[in-house]
Amino acid sequence: MRMGEGVEWGLHCCLTLAWLGDEHPVPTARLAAWFDLPPAYLTKRLQALVRAGVLTSTPGAKGGFRLGRAPERITLMDVVAAIEGTEEAFRCTEIRQRTEGAAAAGGDFRHACGVATAMRRAELAWRRELAAQTVADLMAAAPAGAAERTRRHYARG
């Protein structure tokens, strides 16, 4: 099982945007250069965050991205869901119902598949943990100088 690296990009970008405040929007090219990422592809990922309302984009000259709402109200779940989608990692294909002559034998399939519910329970715990953490928490956990260093770099122009 693998999570795309877009999630890492998205989280770090949110963190950066949170530190910079939303006085001036930050263009994609700036963020891409800062993290050394492919600009065009990063744009695609940030656009996904815009669609989810996590970020807002302002077009035109001096445009760019800024946070869509306060860092305390952006959970990691929001970012992951926006970029990776809301589908569950485990997809039950109901192979129990494909068993030979299942219909004829009158199997009882009114109950949900036990395997699926077990996996879903685990995934729920994961989602709950993601929803419990916000971008503001990330800001608080970072070492003291990080925010300052970021701001200095972006102020330089």
Partner DNA sequence: GTGGCAGTACTCGGATAACCTTTGTCCGAGTCTAAACGG
Partner DNA sequence: CCGTTTAGACTCGGACAAAGGTTATCCGAGTACTGCCAC
Binding site residues, DNA, CB under 7 A: 1-2, 4-6, 27-29, 38-41, 43-44, 46-47, 50-51, 57-65
Provide the 3-class DSSP secondary structure of residue 26.
strand
Q: For residue 15, which amino acid is it?
A: L
Burial class (CB in 10 A: 0-12, 13-18, 19+), 112: exposed
Six token digits for residue 99: 């068993």
Distance CA 36, CA 38 (A): 7
- For residue 98, state whether it binds a copy of itself (rule: CB under 8 A): yes
Tell me whether residue 69 or residue 127 sits nearer to a copy of itself (CB atom): 127
Which listed residue (5, 21, 24, 70) binds a copy of itself by CB under 8 A?
5
Query: Which CB atom, from 53 or from 148, has the smaller least distance to a copy of itself?
Result: 148
For residue 92, with 0-12 CB atoms within 10 Å meaning exposed, 13-18 middle and 19 or more buried, which class applies?
Answer: middle
Least separation in angstroms between residue 108's CB and DNA is 27
Tell me the longest C-alpha to C-alpha distance in the chain. Answer: 74
The helix (run of H) or strand (run of E) holding residue 64 is strand 64-67
- Which of the stretches 19-27, 44-52, 59-67, 79-87 binds a copy of itself when contact is defined by CB under 8 A? 79-87
Question: Which residues of the chain form contacts with a copy of itself (CB under 8 A)?
Answer: 1-5, 7-9, 11-12, 15, 33-37, 76, 84-85, 87, 89-93, 95-96, 98-100, 105, 107-108, 111, 114-115, 117-119, 121-130, 133, 137-138, 141-146, 149-150, 153
